[in-house]
Each structure stands twice: as C-alpha cells, then as structure tokens.
Structure 1
C-alpha cells in the first residue's frame, strides 16, 4: 500500500481547500464544497473565503445569509458552522444525538432529573412564535416549565438548541455587522423541517458526509473524519463505500481513505502564502494535524489564533492592530518568505479595510 508522507498529505489538503490555487466558483458552491465553514467567530468566514476564492465579495455572503441560502447553526463538533440551507436540512437529524451528548458533557449536573424529551417539546413550543431568542432568553422561558426547580438558564438554553434544530438569525454573521446570537427554528427560517433519518435503517446521509469530507479533506483516516464532524457512528457508512474508495497509509501506519479521482499533487508543488482565519477547518478538520501544523503548535488551532501558511505549513500568527495586519512568525522566516508574507498581508489589509489600508508588519 502506498505510503503518503506529511508533505504529500499537506499538498492534497491545500489543493482541495483551494489554498494552492483560488477557485472560480459561486459562494454557495464554495460553502458546500468545504462541507461548511467554522463560524463561531462571526467575521472569520469572510477571511476564509477570501483566501480561497479569486474574486470574493463579502457582500455576496451577507446577502446569502439574508436570503437564507446559507445559515449559521450548531452542527459539526457542536460548533457554529456556516452551511448551505440544503446541507443543514439534509444533515441536521444525523447530528442530533452527537449534539445532545456533547451538550450533556458540561451541563449534565445542571440538567440532572430533567426529561430531555419534555425539554425539547417545551423549546419547540416556546420558539413557535418565530421570535428570535438568545440562549439565556430561551433557557429562561423553557425553564418555566419546571417552576421552582432552580434550573440554570444557560444549561436549559444550550440543551434546547442541541435538541431542536435552530439557526442564528442575521444580523449575526453579516459583514462588519455586530449583534449577539439570536435563534429561530430551522423549520420556520427555511420553510420546512429537516430531513428525518432513513426509515430502513440505512445511512445515506453518513455516506454523503464521508464523500464530501474526502472531497475537501482527503486522503484521511476514519479518526480524521470523526474529528471533523464529531460523529462516532460512521463505520457503517465507511464500510458501505469501501468498494468505491482507494486506500493509502500514512507514516504512522494509519489507513487513509480517498476518492479515486481526487487531486493528490506532487509533494514539491509550490504553495503560496495564505492567511487563515481563526478555527479554520483546514486545520481543525483532522485528528492528526501534522500535515499542516507541527505538533508543537497544535494548541494554536484550538485557541482561536489566526495563522499564516508558508510553504503549506503554519509558520506564523496574525492579528489586526489599528488597521495594520501584524504577523508574528513562529520561527525564523527567510527573506523571500518574509517578502511573500508581506505582500499577502497587504492584500488582506486592503480587503479588510475596503482598500483604505495596506499596512502590514512582520515581526522579527
């Protein structure tokens, strides 16, 4: 079985994430191809798409949110993702059990003794009026079902959103627009209920998730797939697809799965400098992230640091200070790389400021 080294895996990821060559595709198609975009920080998806598309206009993404073509919702790994309306309708039921379990983790004691089916029923009733609610507002209203219980509003609200499909209503997530997260029922926002599980016990949604993941992230191991979506119950879907997949091994001996015709560029393919937003799935979408980030820097990807890719690997962090994109290298950058980082940093500064600033500072 062919062994793929870290550099080969990294180039495959960059190609499929459109970080080698920007793509000329409409924004909805980009969001769909990427399997959704990590979006708990509302402005970060705009940078993620700017780094991947040739002529990205942030107003287009804002308009898609207003028109309900894409939505913000808790989905993969119980984190907020920006996904297409079609995908959330198809995928939401497949994620409910995971969302429930991951919400119970931090709130199990606070919800002790609460019938979760009753909680879900109360949440649907509360949200049936179509009025957007914050987590605490929803929790306060639903907790009234158990007067005198002393239930923690935050815990009740978070569990309600795990059990009942909902979306975050704009202006949350619009370009350069503030506003807290306020939630409405998915069915009210999109005009129909999420698709139910297959009645015959098959898992077409799981199989679709496997294919979509490999198209945007492969070659990858089953553990990487789990790390991306948070779902533990996909072995059956993987097994059902094995005949149509190709397999490799990585340097740790793990079996990697892939679509047969997906791009796997030469490991020496040049990789341009790219600026990634906080919590980008190009990093978080794997259990073994060494194809793109050193283990020594793995913590950056979960701490919300924005990173810079140099030759396909995380080599610096970046932030905006007083209109200047400030880059902090994680180690020594050769002069040519510093020049390339500066050029791309100026382009990012212009994007973030509508051309009002191209200031960039690369620290020593």
Structure 2
C-alpha cells in the first residue's frame, strides 16, 4: 500500500466512527411528570417533533416520573452531561432571581398574556438562564395552580392558617404561603403522595394536570380553585453541553421548542376541563376561592420582590402592562 492509500485508509477509519457516533447520538429528556401529566404529553410532543426532524442524526428519548432525578437533581445533571433536557418550572426561581416574577400571585392572567410576556421579555429570562449556565430552548407550562388539603375548604387566605402545605423548592412560593398564614413545606413532587397519605403534610398546591396524574385526589378531601400562580415550564439545556451539539441538530431542537408550544397550550386547556371532573368524581369537595381576597393579601410579596430583586419593580410593571385587561 502506498502512502496515498495509507492516508486515505486512515481518514476513512477516522470518519466512520464519527458518522456512527452522530447516528447514535441519544439525547435524554428527564422530567418529573407522571403518566397522564401535561409534562409527559409536552415532553413526548417535543420528542416526536425532534425525532421527525433529526432523522438518523440523533434521537430524543424521554424519561418521566423523576426516573432521572427530581427537579434540582436534573439541573445538576444537565451541566454534567448526564441529561440533555429537563422541564423545570417553579424551581427556576432558585436558579436566577428574575424567574421569581412568575411566583408573584396572579401576575400571569391567561396563556395569551404569557405569550406576550415571552415575546416582549424573553431576552431577559434567556440572559438570566445563561448567567447560570443554562439555556431556554422552549416555553411550555405547568399551569394555573390550585390548593388541595384535608383540613377545610380554602376560600380566603385566612383559611390556610396552620395548614402544613407542600410547595416546590422556591423561596417566593414559601414566602407567599407564609404570608397567607400556612406552614409551607418544600418537597420533591415524587414524595408528596406518601406525605399526604401518612399525614406528614395536610395539603399541596398544583395544576389539575399534576394533581390528577399524581393521584392526589385519592388522598385529599378538598380542592379549592384559587389559580394563585401560573407557572411556565422551560425546556432547559446546559449551555456547555448545548454548544457541543452539531449546529444543525441545535437548529432543529430549537425549532421544536418553539413549534411544540401550541400543542402544549392546547393540551393544557383541554386537561383543565377534563381533569377537574376526574378530581370531582373521585369524591373531592370542590369550591371556588375568593380570588380578590388573595390578590389583596398579596401586596407585601410584590413590594418585597420589587425592593430586593434587581430590576424587579420594572419586571412587575412591564408584565402587568401586557395583561389583557390593562
């Protein structure tokens, strides 16, 4: 074999493993949602879009029900390259302070309002994520949150007095329920059913999709429709790992992050109607809360956010200005 043939053989030997590696690129999407949850539907829709676009260049595989870790563990695993995507919501307020704006009670009124916020202020949240080593490639949702418990119906904030209520990990949700008089207890979603069943906690707050998919209706007596917080879900990647992906793969994944949002919102609206009936039919007593009473009681947490978060007052003002009734 001459020198030219030897070089060509060497190049071929080097290229073939790279081609195989590209075709065998597996991207793992971890989330905490259970079977039947909005998170499951959202992640699966994203994976379907991505795999259709990527062909044999890469494959997105979805792992729900906290199989790859809870929200905090998934954030760590993203940076370690052990997971490629996660779908955090409330926990993002502990990643960068700007995300705490979505913890302000009743600040997001509708999904159209959220779309307007994303369009107008998306750069603010992307910069906040990047400053902590993450990148948002899509906005999904967790949804409008309501309170369940085994003590009493919740009509006004005063009814929460003394109730031990599970919350996600996030300082503003804890502060909000402390303000209302509850005893907030941060806990991973995967631990909540057992904690409710064994009376370690009295209640929790979540969108219908999480309540029903986690089967909380089996261990809760009351559902109070408060709609106190709308939590976005973020299709999140670690920036250091993201930049290692081929440019064309990144482009297709970003396109799916954007395209899948419409499916997520449509699914969320449908589940809101269907799952409220599932919860009610399980024997849970349902009541409408006095939302204005909760809004009136929430003024101090807005004031604290405005005074302690850099740019917080401006964020509040800009988001409220985008509300449909403003």
TM-score bracket, shorter-length normalisation = under 0.3
TM-score normalised by L of structure 2? 0.25
| Structure with more relative contact order (C-alpha pairs < 8 Å, separation 6 or more) | 2
